[in-house]
Amino acid sequence: ARIAIARGEIHMQSATLRLIRDGQIKKGDVLVTAELAGVMAAKRTAELIPLCHPLNLTQVEVDVALDETLPGVQITATVRTTGKTGVEMEALTAVSIAALTVYDMAKSAEKTMRIANIRLVEKRGGQSGDVINE
């Protein structure tokens, strides 16, 4: 069994965060769309990153949540599989694409948003053992 958890964030102006929270972004529901994009990206990681093995993923969960303290959006991806290769790249790809989706959907409101701090939080399983970074 393998599991990887990755996180990232998007910093934005409070006004942009309010537009997202209030459903006022013209392209639609930013959080739901970003979560879906993250799941889709995890499943296609091998197509996006050279030398990355295609994996049979057993679970992909992407959580995109508003964070007033940033202000911005926090993204967490959890990916699971059973196999010989870990799923760190899939989790990191899910976070990255979810963040890019938030940016794309909200860029009409703000072009100064910053995608930041994309990182592996935790991985379990495999020869290198468990890693807990947070």
Give catalytic residues, as residue numbers. Answer: 104
- Cα separation, 84 vs 19, in Å, equals 43
Structure tokens at 13: 């102006």
- Cα separation, 81 vs 112, in Å, equals 37
CA atoms within 13 A on the CB side of 89: 15
